[in-house]
Structure 1
């Protein structure tokens, strides 16, 4: 890569890291927020859920908007929105306002994630997997060190710092992006001459509304049931409303002239569907370990928070360390071998979880974490490279947005899986059962990678 491409990649990385950084950093601030706004844990946990829900919706919507109106514009607007929300959040007079600013922050950072991947796909034409590996370091690194940064900020100041820390990243990214991201090509249409109805049809306002209502209702029902610890008629009603709205959305998208999610195109390129299914499985497995293992270590192995944090940090370090090598490997031979290797490592890690017992040496725990960490690094690069192979350039924005929504779906499913398997308390037996389920997930991923047809690249050139 030349110097301009490297600066372009840095500008994208500094913007993209804001989404995972803010989704992970907030976890250590929940207790402070409970005291600041006089809330119980169930109420304050919506500061996390609202970010996940908003990101899940905003990723494909903003990806589609970038395909229509220009990727440079959307990236810069996203930085401005995230900057404004980060300034406003510490001034929230009530928790409802904080949730609102958190949602706005999620929308702004989502613009950058889906658009950032599209910018790499279009403007970095050589060694794309290497570029993706560097982007993966920004994303995975931010998620891994987010709780640590949040803890340091809370130690020296208070919860407003976890919002204000975004400002230097946003400013640096904006300054670099303004100089390095090429200007958008003129759009193939002019919105000035469009009527309101024509403009609404162009952006698929009906599709956006149906998608938003469906996903919000479904996730709100599921996450409310999880946070309250019981399943009520209201939760079931929310879930049914969400599923119904998403079914109508799919019917609408198949018929729409300018759909938010081009289902006909996805049907034409089935490799895109397979990539997203695999990405859901990957994140279901990884975040089940990421969220579940710390509680197991503290409750069953009686490890301190410090030692648990050190062990979990090894997961992120292994993921980051393998990413550059993964990028070079995938540039040479394509994503399929890396994905197969990742699936085998996930299966090995799952077997180690199945055989776990309270006297198991820490070295075996480290081996399991290394297997999951290395597989995560391979997946972060390999899955994005597979998406690039499978997706036509003209819809890369919305394809990237849906890809990132798949990440959040896997994350949310992992949280639900832990609730179902563990119940009210963690036990060694329950954790072994979790390992068996994750082994099945890993083997399904291996099977899909083995069967993956190497036709995605030719499909994307049709």
Structure 2
């Protein structure tokens, strides 16, 4: 029997079996669910906004792009801030900004104001999310790592359910109450989360001696924003075109790497990624999967309506079983400690789903389409939860906020790539024949993910077998076949 380290004994004795109380968990669930909720709920309102404000869809679609762009840009920065300052004010302040921005959007009569409102909602929800991750990490000192890990899985599952159910909620709100309801819904949720968040103030936030004198790395934050903004704008149809952002992204990235590799507490820890390539792989895999799943949930309905001549009601029927199954899988996965196994299965089913898309055409029966969409339920249900869990395993606890924020930035970058693919492949209208090049692109991405995970598993297994210290350490991150 391998020896157990003293630290493991200490942790077990100092953290008896405890669970987060509802008073702690509910405001966290509300705060973290607002980002994925707003990511999808606006989709049901775009046509009504265009008609109500007498503006073109070319301008209205910026309600989506602005949210993705702001989320991708600001998530790493606000995550780093949550690591360095008391997270509760950041949590409540972010929710207050969401409530104010939702009110502004609900009262707006100009598309520019709506776009600003969406960007501010993205900033506010990103702040509350980054703070929640750090609050859970802090709570691990009182409740133990297992309770904190379970709380983290529950919040991730709740986010997945919110994202999956957002289109349904959007339709239920926008139908009877108009497009302004998509903005106004943020106000009661944000205010409720703020009112319920008072118990979070009692979580003990502290820094090691001298850490509170460290800077927030403002130069690193500005460079991170510059890289993410220029990179994302390169992929979007902007008034300045693609050339200017494309020219600036390279120098900005070089400056970011140079600066952050020398800063004692960087926003983007390039040294950590360099020492641990597995972390970089988690980010890259999350980006590829973001492209695939956003293609299925955003471009898929567009193709079903235009290329398969389905009504909105029929599209809802096709997506409803996938949505329900994804929510069930996500909730069930909370109880699984090591989520790498279910992630491997989910990635394989995701590849199978993209392969079946190669066989779909305008004559494919509705029942077959529903069965194909079910193959994407597992990755939708577990991808985010498992990736977040893996980041927690790989980074020091004082860098959790920034690292998870960077992971989410890769996710929203995938959403922006999906929007670019829509313009390149579908153009103004999707047809049945145009699904094939999209499916080929998705098959390529999913194949890279599956093969990459298999390679990582082989590397883990060899490293584990060749190092006796790893085999004797009960806390080591073991390969799947010995966990």
**Structure-2-length-normalised TM-score:** 0.84
**Per-residue displacement from partner, 1:411-462 (whole Å, max 9, x unpaired)?**
11222223323344423332123222222222211122222355897489xx
8 A contact 1:63–1:401 mirrored in 2: yes
For 2:365 and 2:263, locate their aligned partners in 1 and report how far apart those are by CA, in whole Å: 58
Correspondence 1:181-260 to 2 at 5 A: 182-188=202-208, 202-224=215-237, 234-260=241-267
Q: State the 1:285 CA deviation.
A: 0.9
Correspondence 1:89-100 to 2 at 5 A: 89-92=105-108, 94-100=110-116
CA distance 1:46–1:357, change in 2 (3 Å): closer
For 2:218 and 2:203, locate their aligned partners in 1 and report how far apart those are by CA, in whole Å: 27
**Per-residue displacement from partner, 1:308-359 (whole Å, max 9, x unpaired)?**
0121222221211111222223x1xx23211210111011111211111333
For 1:328 and 1:434, locate their aligned partners in 2 and report how far apart those are by CA, in whole Å: 35
For 1:307 and 1:117, locate their aligned partners in 2 and report how far apart those are by CA, in whole Å: 38
8 A contact 1:269–1:459 mirrored in 2: no
CA distance 1:359–1:443, change in 2 (3 Å): same
**Structure-1 residue corresponding to 2:271:** 264
8 A contact 2:139–2:203 mirrored in 1: no
Structure 1: give runs of 5+ residues left out of the alignment: none
Aligned residue pairs total: 444
1:400 and 2:420 are equivalent in the alignment: no
**Structure-1 residue corresponding to 2:64:** 48
8 A contact 1:269–1:391 mirrored in 2: no
Give the secondary-structure state (helix, strand or coil) at the position aligned to 1:351.
helix
**Structure-2 residue corresponding to 1:345:** 349
Q: State the 1:241 CA deviation.
A: 1.5
Q: Name the stretch that deviates more: 119-128 or 282-291.
A: 119-128
8 A contact 2:76–2:404 mirrored in 1: yes
**Structure-2 residue corresponding to 1:30:** 46
CA distance 1:444–1:248, change in 2 (3 Å): same
Correspondence 1:246-325 to 2 at 5 A: 246-325=253-332
**Structure-2 residue corresponding to 1:173:** 193
1:61 and 2:68 are equivalent in the alignment: no
Q: Name the stretch that deviates more: 250-259 or 446-455.
A: 446-455
**Per-residue displacement from partner, 1:241-266 (whole Å, max 9, x unpaired)?**
23322222222211223322121122
8 A contact 1:115–1:400 mirrored in 2: no
For 2:110 and 2:264, locate their aligned partners in 1 and report how far apart those are by CA, in whole Å: 43
Q: Name the stretch that deviates more: 395-404 or 352-361.
A: 352-361
**Structure-1 residue corresponding to 2:129:** 113
Q: Name the stretch that deviates more: 263-272 or 59-68.
A: 263-272
What RMSD, in angstroms, separates the aligned Cα atoms of the two structures?
A: 2.6
For 1:32 and 1:236, locate their aligned partners in 2 and report how far apart those are by CA, in whole Å: 33
For 1:234 and 1:47, locate their aligned partners in 2 and report how far apart those are by CA, in whole Å: 18
Correspondence 1:144-159 to 2 at 5 A: 144-159=164-179
CA distance 1:133–1:245, change in 2 (3 Å): same
**Structure-1-length-normalised TM-score:** 0.88
Structure 2: give runs of 5+ residues left out of the alignment: 1-16, 465-469, 479-483
